[in-house]
Amino acid sequence: MKFLVHTYGCQMNVRDSEAVEALMLAAGHEKAANEDEAEVVIVNSCTVRQKAEEKAVGKAGNLIAAKKITGLMGCAVKRMGADVFKRLPKLDFAVAPRAFGLIPRILADGRFPRLELGDDVAPESLAAHVEGGWQAFVTVLLGCDNRCSYCIVPDVRGHEYSRPAKEVIAEVAALARRGVKEVCLLGQSVLRYGIRNAAWEAERSSAVSTREAFPRLLRALAEIDGIERIRFTSAHPSGCTDELIQVYQDCPKVCRHLHLPVQSGSDRILKEMGRRYTRADYLAAVRRLRAFDPEFAVTTDVIVGYPGETADDFEATRSLMEEAGFDNAFVFKYSPRPGTRAAQLPDDVPTAEKERRDQVLLADQESRGQRRNDALVGTVREVLAEGPSKRNPARWSGRDGGNRIVVWDRADGARAPAPGERVHLRITAAHPQILIGEPT
């Protein structure tokens, strides 16, 4: 059958969708060129905020109306459980985030409706990749046990589970043989890799300490020929250990960028959220990274309008963002999620005030991004080319190790860079989110 997978949400979902595509292709299905042509459409849903869930459910509703065989997978399915069929009575199948490996079999059976909410994941399905491309996501840590008060992820993605190191290493080696140059390791709190279960079970006798499990994985992956860059996301300040910084020192393939969600700059709110760090702890982690390398890129997520967030709490977030000097920031308006601790609190910051705080932080980040990027003018960045720039297809676009977008004009008569090709660019101008360079 001709199929399409439509994805909402974070990188975890992008990765799961890719695995589903690979499994569907392996089962003999064919990717449709567009939605009209598709017989089956699978919508991979997010539920981190109410709006995200509504988008995915709305999309599935439209596909059902268009008479496609429609499946819903991902986080919203687990949150709704059997109620998903109340929202979408004609949905054909629904599978929870860890159950996507069942999709080809569900289609082969053809017995609809079908609901799979299990948390068992088949190792083969985790390792399935679509061929081609030079970048790949690799899931190393599933689920999350942190239980931050606002977050639905632990309920929908299950308990934390670290994949065995030998599985991850074999997967990355296989990707390298297929031409992948850059991998991004994924986990909700990826620096906790190996803490909950023995990820290095083959070497249990040599006692890999929990602080060493993730750094050791990075070192092992950095030895794989063909892999040029290793990224990972998301991080927690408690994971910014000396062992991790030593990896940055020793392994140039490991990119000097951390996505380090802070959520708030107010100690009171951080405590209520259950984030397990203070403002001072967080800033100390950022300082350690920047002391090691002043160009170390740090990006973040922030929530505005958490229950009870006062004007002072908000100002604390503003000042933390300035002190941390973030290279980029994603700001989210608080959205109560059913079943979370925070959902029991009154959602008392008015929508208009959430919007205002959002705009203030975005404006701050614009000028901060400009300042951070201005400081890079004149430096030479090592960039892996991605392709024509989206905004201006006459230019090329790529990213440096800090995940900064760099665009450049093709020199007269020069050939187009191959995707993933390494180029050195001298930065000639800067915008808040983009650097302009020229080949050196």
> For ligand SF4, which is the closer residue by CB, 118 or 350?
118
Q: How far apart are CA 229 and CA 173, in angstroms?
A: 13
Q: C-alpha angle with apex 424: 418 to 428, nearest 5 degrees?
A: 120
- If contact means CB under 5 to 8 A according to the sort of partner, which of ligand 5AD, ligand SF4, none does residue 337 touch? ligand 5AD
**Considering the complex, what minimum distance in angstroms separates the CB of residue 160 from ligand SF4?**
13
When the beta carbons of 314 and 332 are compared against ligand SF4, the nearer one is: 332
Q: Is 281 in the site for ligand 5AD (CB under 6 A)?
A: no
Amino acid found at 259: H
CB of 50 to ligand SF4, least distance (A): 11
Residues engaged in binding ligand SF4 (CB under 6 A) = 9-10, 12-13, 46-48, 74-75, 153, 157
Per CB under 6 A, the segment of 24-32, 68-76, 139-147, 329-337 that binds ligand 5AD is: 329-337
Which residue type does 22 have? A
Q: Which does 266 bind (CB under 5 to 8 A by kind): ligand SF4, ligand 5AD, none?
A: none
Both tokens of 59, joined, read 């999309």
CB closer to ligand 5AD out of 115 and 148: 148
Give me the DSSP letters along 204-265.
GGG---HHHHHHHHHHHHHTSTT--EEEEE---GGG--HHHHHHHHH-TTB-SEEE---B-S
Nearer to ligand SF4, 129 or 337 (CB): 337
Check if the beta carbon of residue 137 is closer than 8 Å to that of residue 128: no
CB of 107 to ligand SF4, least distance (A): 22
Determine the straight-line distance between the first and last CA of the chain, rounded to whole angstroms: 49
Tell me: does residue 335 bind ligand 5AD (CB under 6 A). yes
Q: Is residue 322 part of the contact set for ligand 5AD (CB under 6 A)? A: no
Of 143 and 237, nearer to ligand SF4 (C-beta) is 143
Q: How far is the CB of 331 from ligand 5AD (least distance, A)?
A: 8
> Closest approach of Cβ 44 to ligand SF4, in Å?
8
Q: Using CB under 6 A, pick the residue from 337, 357, 381, 399 that binds ligand 5AD.
A: 337
Cβ-proximal residues to 378 (8 Å cutoff; 6+ apart), any chain: 426, 427
User: What is the residue whose two structure tokens read 């567009």?
Assistant: 34
Any contact of residue 301 with ligand 5AD (CB under 6 A)? Answer: yes
DSSP sequence for 256-306: SEEE---B-S-HHHHHHHT-S--HHHHHHHHHHHHHH-TT-EEEEEEEES-
- Alpha-carbon gap, residue 312 to 321, rounded angstroms: 14
**374 burial level (CB within 10 Å; 0-12, 13-18, 19+):** middle
- The conformation of residue 419, written as its DSSP 8-state character, comes to T
- Interface with ligand 5AD in residues 20-79 (CB under 6 A): 48-49
Query: How many Cβ atoms sit within 10 Å of the Cβ of residue 390?
Result: 11
Q: Are 329 and 372 in contact (CB under 8 A)?
A: no
CB of 7 to ligand 5AD, least distance (A): 15
Taking CB under 6 A as the criterion, the residue among 91, 151, 269, 361 binding ligand 5AD is 151
Residue 150 interacting entry, from ligand SF4, ligand 5AD, none, C-beta within 5 to 8 Å by type: ligand 5AD
- What's the chain's Rg over C-alpha atoms? 22
Return the range that interacts with ligand 5AD (CB under 6 A); candidates 13-21, 82-90, 119-127, 330-338.
Answer: 330-338
Contact 53, 31 (CB under 8 A): no
Residue 261 touching ligand 5AD (CB under 6 A): yes
**What order do you get walking across the sheet with 328-333 strand by strand?**
257-259, 297-304, 328-333
Binding flag, residue 408, ligand 5AD (CB under 6 A): no
Q: Among 332, 349, 383, 399, which residue interacts with ligand 5AD (rule: CB under 6 A)? A: 332
Q: How many CB atoms lie within 10 A of CB 395?
A: 14
Contact between 40 and 67 (Cβ < 8 Å): no
236 versus 381: smaller Cβ distance to ligand 5AD: 236
Choices 53-61, 133-141, 182-190, 327-335 (CB under 6 A): range interacting with ligand 5AD: 327-335
Nearer to ligand 5AD, 125 or 335 (CB): 335
CA-based nearest residue to 337, from 55, 75, 83, 85? 75
Give least dist CB 391 to ligand 5AD, A.
25
State in angstroms the smallest separation of the CB of 54 from ligand SF4. 13
Q: Under the rule (CB under 6 A), what is the footprint of ligand 5AD?
A: 48-49, 150-151, 261, 263, 301, 303, 332, 334-335, 337
